[in-house]
Amino acid sequence: MSPDESAFFRDADPWGFIIFARNIETPDQVRALTSELRDSVGRDAPILIDQEGGRVARFRPPHWREWDTALDFCTAAGGNAAQVMHLRGRMIAAELKAVGVDVNCAPMLDVATKDSHAIILNRCYGFDPETVAVNGRALAEGQLAGGVLPIIKHIPGHGRASLDSHHDLPHLDTPLAQLQSSDFVPFSRLSDLPMAMTAHIIYSAIDPENCATLSPAVIDLIRNDIGFGGLLMTDDLSMKALSGSFAERAAAALSAGCDMVLHCNGERAEMDPILSEVPRLTAAAAARAEAALVLRQPPEPFDFAQAEDALAQVMKDAAND
């Protein structure tokens, strides 16, 4: 980092950091960066990444393993999908932890549908909520075993969206009962996990005016109907599904009930106004953040080569069934 960046982070004192492909060159370089980021705030701050494998992967060959998209991976594994998703989570965690990254924005618990936008579809773990929940739990537990905290996303469910919220605001008119019996189910099943990320989607049955990230009604549903009691963060405030100034976006998300905001593009012109609207964590948010970090445990013993062999054998057996 430059001296100016270090000074900025020292003064801003973010709860954590998220890195992207633009920040990544080699394992040694990433280790140095994650160390510098933590030094800038003087503590063991969490460092996040989107490393789902497949379409969304910031770490790629030649230094890191390539993965099939999650939907293809689970489909190929058949009845062994949960087993291989656990291995996937554990192997990804080993690579992340080795370079100082300790939070992964996965599992993705969105239920695939015939209307799912391409940006979501092959990242999903299945077309029915129970399958998604089982496979999502397996991946999360694999990550936790590797010392990497999972973030479930995109709560309360992005699978039905036919638009890409990076560019547009999806609007779902699905009846609440249908959402409750399908889309919300994986999030309810995994509501004990430590962190979640909101969806920039309007659910008209709950709040016809505001997307989930900015909706007190949807946040209340996440807390009380779905039962998620962990740390709730927004999806990236830079996404074009949101409108208004960055200060307005940050203030609205916190007012709606999100614990913290996520800003991903690294643009100082956006970060400065966001900082003007984000106070220190509330007592409740700080408690949820601390409860999440308590789960950041040293990795269990693990042999990557043995895991590769086990994964290859499971996939071979599935192909022969």
> Any idea what the CATH number is for the domain that residue 288 is in?
3.20.20.300
pLDDT at 183: 97
DSSP-assigned letter for residue 108: B
Give φ, ψ of 319 to 5 degrees.
Answer: -65, -25
**Would you tell me the crossing angle of helices 3-12 and 268-275 to the nearest 10 degrees?**
20
The label of the residue with tokens 């996303």 reads 153
pLDDT at 163: 77
In tens digits, the chain (321 residues) has pLDDT values of: 999 999 999 999 999 999 999 999 999 999 999 999 999 999 999 999 999 999 999 999 999 999 999 999 999 999 999 999 999 999 999 999 999 999 999 999 999 998 898 889 999 999 999 999 999 999 999 999 999 999 999 999 999 987 777 878 989 999 999 999 999 999 999 999 999 999 999 999 999 999 999 999 999 999 999 999 999 999 999 998 899 999 999 999 999 999 999 999 999 999 999 999 998 999 999 999 999 999 999 999 999 999 999 999 999 999 988
Helix (H, G, I), strand (E, B) or coil at 148: coil
Task: Give the predicted TM-score (pTM) of the model.
Answer: 0.96
> How many domains are contained in the chain?
1
pLDDT at 197: 98
pLDDT at 115: 86
* Of residues 76, 72, 60, 73, the one with CA closest to residue 27: 60
By residue range, what is the domain housing residue 207?
3-320
pLDDT at 110: 96
Q: Which residues does the annotation mark as catalytic?
A: 166, 235
Give φ, ψ of 135 to 5 degrees.
Answer: -70, -35
pLDDT at 118: 87
- Judge whether 203 and 218 are in contact, CB under 8 Å: yes
What does the DSSP assignment read for 208-243? SSS-GGG-HHHHHHHHHTS---SEEEEEETTSTT--
* Of residues 71, 133, 122, 110, the one with CA closest to residue 212: 110
pLDDT at 166: 81
Give the model confidence (pLDDT) of 9-59 as tens digits: 999 999 999 999 999 999 999 999 999 999 999 999 999 999 999 999 999
